[in-house]
Structure 1
């Protein structure tokens, strides 16, 4: 059963509990100075923390907060407290430039090699076509399709054969004889040695070239 407490006694007890003073032990001078000192304050908090305060002085490799010296994450104090940001930025840009130059040189080499291979392929195809055409010209099918005249009926050029050279010689002989006839007519048209109209000395207007030589058969 619940305890029957008079109302006045209950009020007096609650009022006394709420208005009672909380006594604290006064802090010493060292403790008050420690609150104003940052290092002492941090050391005091470390000592009072759960798990106690432990400093890894004897074996630095066992410190879980510092990576071992043979680790890739290890940095000495010189690297950790490096503050020359301009040199670091310059080194970063220089490294990027070197990488870009290497990439451009690689692309340039690949493009050059591809271009050389392309030209070599074109030259090889050209020589193959030339050899194929030469073989076709010497074949029986080419002889059956050969022209009956010794010149090209489209370009009117002489054929590169003995018959073509002989045809060229015959045409040159015709032109040579025509030149001789023109010179003979010029000389026989007048019996005097001067021009009848102007009275000047007669000029030989028709020039005769050297007589063509017949081609030799290979």
Structure 2
């Protein structure tokens, strides 16, 4: 059951995407750069269990399942509206659940206490307590598991007008780039005794980080 803050955020996401979900995949492919880069970098072994947090319409899960057909995939999202699209797209091939990224129980949702890979693609910029969401994700990693995160960056390598226009557009959809992502992932990794790697993509359009838990 969601708490009051989570319910409020769920309502906001449902209102934002109730209609947008119908055209989300078509329009966002021009903006959400790096999603397929992340999927390529997952490299799960056959038989791995892979969870997407903030799975939205299920587009990434669909692509990942086609690339890694011998893995089991799971997805969670706080928006029941987005999950309507995901369930229609993924049918019964992938387990989906409505849950808050900041406070979920993998065993309760999917009968899985840990996952080999967890990824968040352009999700943390829409989660108010995004640091808690990242820590919750890492808490669900098994030994040797990896958390992969891609999201908007600072646009430093691009013209000023582009960054200004993009951020104005993002605000309309309650999206806030998390420019402290590198620092936060590094701190989480230190706390866990894990390894971390980080890079900027497409001249600073996107940022990509990976936390690797030790075996």
TM tier, shorter chain?
under 0.3
Q: Considering fraction of residues, name the structure with more helix.
A: 1
TM-score by length of 1: 0.14
Higher relative contact order (CA closer than 8 Å, sequence separation 6+): 2
TM-score by length of 2: 0.14
Structure number with larger C-alpha Rg = 1
Q: Considering fraction of residues, name the structure with more strand.
A: 2
